[in-house]
Copies of this chain bind each other. A is one copy, B any other.
Amino acid sequence: MSTSTALHTDRYELTMIDAALRDGTAHRRCLFEVFARRLPGARRYGIVAGTGRLLSLIADLRFGDRELEWLRAERVVSERTLDWLADYRFSGSIDGYREGEVYFPNSPLLTVEASFAEGVLLETLALSVLNFDSAVANAATRMVTAAAGRPLAEMGSRRANEEAAIAASRAAYIAGFGATSNLEAGLRWGVPTMGTAAHAFTLLHDSEEEAFRAQVDALGPSTTLLVDTYDVQKGVETAVRVAGTELGAVRLDSGDLPVLVSEVRQQLDALGARNTKITVTNDLDEFTIAALSPSPVDSFGVGTSLVTGSGSPAASMVYKLVARRDDDSEEWTPVAKASAGKVSRGGRKSAVRRLDAAGKASAEVVRVLGSEPRERAFETRDASERGLIVPLVTDGVADERYLGADGTRAARAHRESAVAELPLGALRLSRGEPVLETILE
């Protein structure tokens, strides 16, 4: 596997740099913006995820011999461009929404200020990271709402590309999941990991009882036993007999869950295993989780629907050139594709969440700053506004608070407070309009 993401890039980015180096426009100062024109799945709000991963990938983006030799052999760009790529280090600045922040259509999620060449090179990488991670976070935050305080674990690695799986674990954690089955997500991002045994472990043994005994011997009675390989009722009985009434939990991965869960709860209680929890993992999504709310389920494990964005597997974010500086000017010239809609998106923007007297969010306000200095993007007008944009990278140096496992935990905390600020309508699972209007001032 490659350890450079330099070529995780669409070919047209390099051919544009090649042509722009040739005619001198490559060095024009540019503002690129990441935003979403809509919330896929007709959801009420979105959650930004991927930022911390992206900042690290940008900081590490280098063209090594492997990449340069291949580009030369394939004649993708000229020698001059190869020289420029060999020296590439992102030296621009990036402002944007914190990871874990709530967003809406046209929220200016990321603003990249750099030369055209430095900025355009990031297009594919930025969108790959943000579109996938946010798609998972957008699904996950709804599942967290549906679970109404009961813990959720991410178990979808097997239904996502092997690297995407790790990003998905991290995004789900940011959006409020408590754990993941994926060990690499634990190592790389500090996400708590969980998991005990699959049906294969029971089938490996000569009897369910032998399998349970082996598991309890290795992991202790506080483990979670999977009780639906053969007959659930017998499985529960055997589980309590082997592990005792201090058995940690039983897991159900099949069957008619609302009925089954109630029966298992009654059986556990009758056996004296009143503290033994029930976890369910059977093809759940936010809707089936919500449907289980009256059932005595203690925790949920979610797989496929989580890592595939529960019907919306990409977050529809785009990376657009919104302003450029002409060679001899200090002013930004706003630019936009004619078909992009009526709203002018030119120039630098600030964004605030307007709060009512009770501290609840009432609007997303985006202000076009034109050629005003960068610092204005971070300002609010008064206490009725919460500023949404923070400096993420300054002159090529990322703010360390947003990186690594610490940044991931901070993003998780931020999501919780940002969602708590939303009006109740945000938590509806049905299709509908964004819960806040985005006002362009």
Per-residue CB contact flags for chain A residues 323-352 toward chain B (1 = under 8 Å, else 0) read 010100000000111110000000000000
Q: Does A287 contact B (CB under 8 A)?
A: no
Q: Which residue of B lies closest to A203 (CB)?
A: B335
Once A2-B184, A188-B2 are accepted as A-B contacts, the answer to whether A124 and B11 lie under 8 Å apart by CB is: no
Q: How far, in angstroms, from A264 to B200 measured CA to CA in the complex? A: 59
Q: How far, in angstroms, from A14 to B195 measured CA to CA in the complex? A: 9
Interface core residue of A18, A32, A161, A314 (most chain B CB under 10 Å): A161
For residue A131, which residues in chain B have a CB less than 8 angstroms away from its CB?
158-160
Q: Does A25 contact B (CB under 8 A)?
A: yes
The dominant DSSP class at the A interface is helix
Q: Does A144 contact B (CB under 8 A)?
A: no
Q: Which residue of B lies closest to A183 (CB)?
A: B7
Given A3-B3, A10-B183, A124-B182; 18 other pairs, CB 8 A cutoff: A12-B181, A12-B198, A18-B218, A19-B215, A22-B218, A25-B205, A71-B183, A124-B158, A128-B158, A128-B160, A131-B158, A132-B161, A133-B161, A158-B319, A199-B337, A204-B321, A228-B337, A308-B308
Using a CB–CB distance below 8 Å, which chain A residues touch chain B? 1-3, 5, 7-16, 18-20, 22-23, 25, 28, 30, 32, 57, 66-67, 70-71, 74, 76, 78, 116, 120, 123-125, 127-129, 131-133, 155, 157-167, 181-184, 186-188, 193-201, 203-206, 210, 213-215, 217-219, 228-231, 254-255, 304, 307-309, 313-314, 319-321, 324, 326, 335-339
